[in-house]
Structure 1
Amino acid sequence: MSPAPRSARPPGRTALAILIGSVLALLAGLVAFSPMGPATAAPSEPEAPAIETSDTPDLGENVKVYDESTPAEQIQADFDEAFEAHKVSPDAQFGEQRYAFLFKPGTYDRVWANLGFYTSVAGLGRNPDDVTIKGAVNVDSGWNHGDTANATQNFWRSLENVSVVPEEGTNRWAVSQAAPMRRVHIKGDLTLAPSNQDNGQGYSSGGYLADSLVDGKVSSGSQQQWYTRDSSIGSWEGGVWNMVYSGVEGAPANAFPDSPHTTLDSTPVTREKPYLYVDDEDKYQVFVPSLQRDSAGTSWPDTAGDPIPMSEFYVAKPGDSAATINQALEQGLNLFFTPGTYAVDETIKVTRADTVVTGIGFPTLIPEGGVTALSVDDVAGVKVSGLTFDAGTTNSETLMTVGTEGEHADHADNPTSIQDVFFRIGSSVQGKATTTLVVNSDDTIIDHIWAWRADHGGAPTGWGVNTGDTGLIVNGDDVLATGLFVEHYQKYEVIWNGDRGRTIFFQNEKPYDVPDQAAWMNGDQNGYAAYKVADDVTEHEVWGGGSYSFFNVNPEVKLDHSFEVPEKDGVRLHSLLTVSLGDVGTISNVVNNTGGAVPNPAGNTTPRNVVSYP
């Protein structure tokens, strides 16, 4: 279609314009040669000097980098110092300690790495088998202050891009939310439960495994829910409520609800998380894997993608201002956040397509004055990963936004991705945020987030203290979530307004601290569903969704249903369940008016299951 012709110019317009232009030119000349002298131009702001970068950057004091020449005793001492300083400490869970332990290619004997809060271990090879740790990368119960019997608060730790040869054949990874294991080769067995899991103790509560190879058996034990994506395992044993697999070679057969396994042969769209490595010249690069469709199994050893030299990144360190970080973005640099906390007094704005924003060691952004901490324009291919957001004491309408509401550019060939990004309202501070994450861009991939309104914290929490309406709002079309954890918000916890959305694995707990029913009404409904699909959506699909109640402040509180969706042929849900934890509080139905109530008369914490809906 050709552009419409411009309107014809009115008669006499050209002559009039020339006359006006001549008069203005004459006046300008008179001003320029007046007795007062020539006009003085306003002084221009000096340009900020270009930010310098390096391919061998200083990663800061919170990062330890090892090579094969490092004595095993030194490595062990570093791990022990980090862990023991915060073992059974009342300040550890919401402290400012941040650690990243990085291993250059090689074999490391006699390493027993206990991981506490805010601790990351990663290999610096191109492939997991370039770094071999012989011993263990261990997460267990018995060390968390106030809850030594369980592993349900083993948050904020990670393992990436290494191979592990476990001592005595089994590596223990008893984690809960926000504790990803990615791109790992376990040369033996893997257990996801703590060592004291027998006799009703030692629960662990939700985790994420992706792009990994486990030669032997994975035992989930007391792990209540788990999501595994695009991996290969020898076998899987166990499961409590909601175990979900997509693209996992060796996964159990789909059998929900006879067993708690929901299995998809492949994952519709994936792009593995960017990762740091060193090249043959000992220079740092960030490898950005390519987009995949209908993927299964690991992406390595021949991961498709592109390396980016570290000289194209601004390496941010605690104390850097948002203005400096924005200057780096305006200069065309990517962002690499090192471990620590960052006060953000203006929005960090990503405006360039294909920008990589990543971090190691749980760098934590805290907005000041109610700003949005991070915004991403509606551009293609932005990759955001490895960040934690803490709401500030002044309410933020959002903590992170992607795209512009109402814009629907097609990004199917190069979507934005959000990976291992965690949001907290109420932790070390009494934070407030209306919504933590808003996704407006079409085709966005949300791959493992935990949005959490805190049920406990370093600072006091409560219904009127750390306030937050919603964890995630999706306005974009064709958005995919793989590994979605959203908990304890005060209204709808997920609102999905975009069409053709898909979620593979959803884990939710309703807010514990509802004071009474009157304080938690959605019109004439009791409470707010955990997962709301907007009434005008025509297509949506969910696999493996669990929602739990624990109304311990007032056990008389009721929720009408955990999933609320329009009755349309294109809206389909699979493998849903609700649980009343300890039979505390009531959820009257699973989805809309279907599923029945928990507490289930059959017994304590027995779920209600819906195999498919409608």
Structure 2
Amino acid sequence: MRHQHPRPGRTGRRAAALTAGLLLTGALGAGPAAAAPPQPPTSDLGRNVTVFDPSMPTAEIQARVDEVYAQQVANEFGTERYALLFRPGTYGTDAEPLQVKVGYYTEVAGLGASPDDVTINGKVEVYNRCRPNADGSPNCIALDNFWRTVSNLHIAVNAAGQDGCRSTANFFAVSQASPMRRVHVTGGTLSLMDYCTDGPQFASGGFMADTVAGDVVNGSQQQWLTRNSSIGSWSNGVWNQVFSGVEGAPSEEGFPTPPYTVLDETPLSREKPWLWVDERGRYQVRVPAAHRGTRGASWEQDLAEGRTLPLSSFYVATPRSAVKDINTALARGSNLLLTPGVYDVDRTIAVKRAGTVVLGLGHATLTAVGGAVPMTVADVPGVVVAGVTLDAGTVESPVLLQVGKEKGNQGRAHRGTDDPTTLSDVFFRVGGPHVGKVDTALEVNSDDVLVDHTWVWRGDHGVEDFSGGFLGDDERWAVNTGRQGAVVNGDDVTATGLFVEHFQRVNTTWNGERGTVVLYQNELPYDPPTQADWTQPDGTLGYPGYRVADSVRTHRLYGGGSYVYNRNDPSIVTENGFEAPTTPGVQLHHLLTVNLGAGTIRHVVEGVGGQVDDTNTGTPQYVADFPVR
């Protein structure tokens, strides 16, 4: 994701130490910590986890979070990973607020049972990233503000000491793979656009769930999913804003002006597990239950329903842990906690037991080595994988994450379960920090799976130097190879927030019955060298961004977009952004295609919908419903 799109009008509003077994540590180094009351021993959460206590001086906490941010603000493809965790209590004062800025591969989270157990009197923000143009002119955008997480805390907005433009809002200018979950924002606006930094200020997000806020400024966010939240107002839309189970959501009446898609209830939801500290100072992991037909934030419900697992039930892994030791622990009934870092995985981490929880902290990253499959999940119910990134390695892997095997479990399907296997904030990357190769990034074969926010990305840019830069990068097409982003073969699979980009054939293929997708975002690959490289075997020009197999009889998609930017050869044509059978049970609601500056998509879906090309750059073509009613 690197394109820029037309800018909308602006809105008028602008530990102490830890316990005795866990030190306040980090790869950047840590100064002496103030004494905290004695606590029971705890397990080590990793060298890049910092746990704060409200007894610590604000200045000391501020210095630490600033230190991490200074390293991570531009560290887009680095190997450092951090988690900044806050014990229950209040941080910052009216006179001395705590203002946390969140950079790459940084998780900022409260350790309370409820978001209101941890209050940040100040801000937790993401600003535009500024990289001057060749002529020295400013270029401050949020298009590449990926890979960061904010969750489980209360932000009492306090801008004391900041400039006047920032006085009334908490800024969260992010793009893909940057979720906000279980957050309570009071005392100011939540702005998803950083309108205070020199422009052009483009943003391409994003995902927010289980959050309560007042006024929300969408600004330049081209697409965004808000799920199971409560908001006071929403300012505007650009191309594709989806609301599912949101109290205070705007109406979709008049679509596509504004471009809102609204579901009164979320068909299937399960909130992401979180780490918390109980009243005796012990670490626990709360695993919420799954629910159907939900609306609004689930804070109280998630404390009453679901499971609480002690940290002692987890194998706590570091990047130095051997996969054989991880698999032995899993086989013996342990859950898995991945502490922050990059893990070189030369054999598969195999999750075989129903109900296993795999939780990553600080965007823990599994990198395939030697063509390995980094992780598989057996065809069993109730597994939860959350907060994990999977990277393709330099030798081609057949898949990065496989959920179930085709005809797994001797062909007996798990249908109608109340405990679906769930992937929450699981991200995929092919290329970027290094050459990557994979056939299929995500393959879902099991029935009854919930995918709650994923970004499946074949890199359109990275540290590799192809032809002197990312423009004219014919080499990338041949070297960073990823044929399919997501393939869903299981029945009754639901995805809320499915982002899949730049793969070399069909980005998402849905073969299973009764699938449901709430917000789909896609960019076709930027780098096909020629039309011949981007033509299907039957002669059809180009591959769709989303395909429902001809055999499927029932499928639902709400709010889907596919964008084109053929920067190597702007003459390349794609016939359809979406492909689906024309049958009453397959219903695609609110679709669009957009030209980002180069290339052509002739139709939105199956010959329906207008063409996007360089004559209407940035102006979507919409289809309200397919089949056309």
- TM-score norm. by structure 2 comes to 0.86
**Is 2:529 the counterpart of 1:515?**
yes
**Is 2:513 the counterpart of 1:526?**
no
Q: What residue number does 1:555 align with?
A: 570
Cα distance in structure 1, aligned partners of 2:521 and 2:604: 14
Superimposed CA distance per residue, residues 340-397 of structure 1 (whole angstroms, 9 cap, x where no aligned partner) = 0001111000110000001110000011111110000001100000000110111000
**Is 2:558 the counterpart of 1:543?**
yes
Superimposed CA distance per residue, residues 16-39 of structure 1 (whole angstroms, 9 cap, x where no aligned partner) = xxxxxxxxxxxxxxxxxxxxxxxx
Q: What residue number does 1:264 align with?
A: 263
Cα distance in structure 2, aligned partners of 1:599 and 1:496: 27
**Offset of residue 278 of structure 1:** 0.3
Question: Quick check: 110-119 or 456-465, which moved more?
Answer: 456-465
Look up the equivalent residue of 1:195 and give its one-letter code.
Y
Q: What residue number does 2:33 align with?
A: none
**Is 2:129 the counterpart of 1:142?**
yes
Look up the equivalent residue of 1:71 and give its one-letter code.
P
* Cα pair 1:114 1:139 within 8 Å, conserved: yes
* Cα pair 2:456 2:500 within 8 Å, conserved: yes
* Alignment CA distance shift 1:86-1:286 (3 Å): closer
Q: What residue number does 1:376 align with?
A: 377
Cα distance in structure 2, aligned partners of 1:246 and 1:79: 33
Q: What residue number does 1:396 align with?
A: 397
Which of 248, 251, 255 aligns to 1:250? It is 248
Cα distance in structure 2, aligned partners of 1:127 and 1:340: 27
* Cα pair 1:430 1:460 within 8 Å, conserved: no
Look up the equivalent residue of 2:114 and give its one-letter code.
N
- Say which SS state the counterpart of residue 482 (structure 2) adopts: coil
Q: What residue number does 2:506 align with?
A: 492
* Alignment CA distance shift 1:211-1:144 (3 Å): farther
Cα distance in structure 1, aligned partners of 2:395 and 2:614: 41
- Say which SS state the counterpart of residue 65 (structure 1) adopts: strand
* Alignment CA distance shift 1:502-1:55 (3 Å): farther
* Cα pair 1:165 1:186 within 8 Å, conserved: yes
Cα distance in structure 2, aligned partners of 1:411 and 1:353: 15
Look up the equivalent residue of 1:482 and give its one-letter code.
T
Superimposed CA distance per residue, residues 521-577 of structure 1 (whole angstroms, 9 cap, x where no aligned partner) = 112111110101111000011000011001111101110011000111111101000
Bigger radius of gyration, 1 or 2? Answer: 1
**Offset of residue 411 of structure 1:** 5.2
Cα distance in structure 2, aligned partners of 1:68 and 1:414: 37
**Offset of residue 410 of structure 1:** 2.0
**Offset of residue 427 of structure 1:** 1.7
Q: What residue number does 1:154 align with?
A: 145
* Alignment CA distance shift 1:145-1:278 (3 Å): farther
**Offset of residue 142 of structure 1:** 3.4
Cα distance in structure 2, aligned partners of 1:149 and 1:512: 22
**Is 2:46 the counterpart of 1:60?**
yes
* Alignment CA distance shift 1:600-1:394 (3 Å): closer
* Cα pair 1:548 1:581 within 8 Å, conserved: yes
* Alignment CA distance shift 1:207-1:197 (3 Å): farther
**Is 2:433 the counterpart of 1:442?**
no
**Offset of residue 143 of structure 1:** 4.1
* Cα pair 2:129 2:145 within 8 Å, conserved: no
- Say which SS state the counterpart of residue 499 (structure 2) adopts: strand
Q: What residue number does 1:612 align with?
A: 625
* Cα pair 1:121 1:159 within 8 Å, conserved: yes
Cα distance in structure 2, aligned partners of 1:514 and 1:197: 34
- Say which SS state the counterpart of residue 104 (structure 2) adopts: coil
Superimposed CA distance per residue, residues 113-169 of structure 1 (whole angstroms, 9 cap, x where no aligned partner) = 111110110000000000000111110113468794210000000100000011233
Look up the equivalent residue of 2:316 and give its one-letter code.
V
* Cα pair 2:340 2:362 within 8 Å, conserved: yes
* Cα pair 1:55 1:285 within 8 Å, conserved: no
Q: What residue number does 1:417 align with?
A: 422
Question: Quick check: 364-373 or 146-155, which moved more?
Answer: 146-155
Cα distance in structure 1, aligned partners of 2:418 and 2:65: 42
Cα distance in structure 2, aligned partners of 1:198 and 1:458: 25
Alignment of 1:137-536 (within 5 A): 137-143=124-130, 148-167=139-158, 168-187=167-186, 188-196=188-196, 201-214=200-213, 216-255=214-253, 256-303=255-302, 304-406=305-407, 407=411, 408-410=413-415, 412-460=417-465, 462-522=476-536, 523-536=538-551
**Offset of residue 412 of structure 1:** 2.2
Cα distance in structure 1, aligned partners of 2:354 and 2:130: 44
Moved beyond 3 Å, runs of 4+: 142-148, 196-199
- Say which SS state the counterpart of residue 387 (structure 1) adopts: strand
Q: What residue number does 2:83 align with?
A: 100
**Offset of residue 194 of structure 1:** 1.4
Look up the equivalent residue of 1:468 and give its one-letter code.
G
Look up the equivalent residue of 1:509 and give its one-letter code.
E
- Say which SS state the counterpart of residue 162 (structure 1) adopts: strand
Cα distance in structure 1, aligned partners of 2:465 and 2:313: 42
**Offset of residue 197 of structure 1:** 7.4
Superimposed CA distance per residue, residues 200-219 of structure 1 (whole angstroms, 9 cap, x where no aligned partner) = x11000110000100x2001
List alignment gaps of at least 5 residues for structure 1. 1-53
Cα distance in structure 1, aligned partners of 2:347 and 2:530: 38
* Cα pair 2:130 2:141 within 8 Å, conserved: no
* Alignment CA distance shift 1:145-1:99 (3 Å): farther
- TM-score norm. by structure 1 comes to 0.88
Look up the equivalent residue of 1:430 and give its one-letter code.
V
Cα distance in structure 2, aligned partners of 1:144 and 1:59: 34
* Cα pair 1:141 1:148 within 8 Å, conserved: no
* Cα pair 2:289 2:419 within 8 Å, conserved: no
Q: What residue number does 1:19 align with?
A: none
- Say which SS state the counterpart of residue 477 (structure 2) adopts: coil
Cα distance in structure 1, aligned partners of 2:72 and 2:299: 35
* Alignment CA distance shift 1:497-1:145 (3 Å): farther
The count of corresponding residues between Structure 1 and Structure 2 is 554
- Say which SS state the counterpart of residue 323 (structure 1) adopts: helix
**Is 2:90 the counterpart of 1:77?**
no
- Say which SS state the counterpart of residue 59 (structure 2) adopts: helix
Look up the equivalent residue of 1:202 and give its one-letter code.
Q
Superimposed CA distance per residue, residues 71-123 of structure 1 (whole angstroms, 9 cap, x where no aligned partner) = 11111111111111344x5xx11001111000000000021111111011000
**Offset of residue 196 of structure 1:** 4.7
* Cα pair 2:154 2:183 within 8 Å, conserved: yes
Look up the equivalent residue of 2:128 and give its one-letter code.
S
* Cα pair 2:236 2:258 within 8 Å, conserved: no
**Offset of residue 335 of structure 1:** 0.3
**Offset of residue 600 of structure 1:** 7.4
Q: What residue number does 2:13 align with?
A: none
Cα distance in structure 2, aligned partners of 1:520 and 1:77: 51
User: Over aligned residues, Cα RMSD in angstroms?
Assistant: 1.5
Cα distance in structure 2, aligned partners of 1:243 and 1:144: 28
Cα distance in structure 1, aligned partners of 2:326 and 2:348: 10
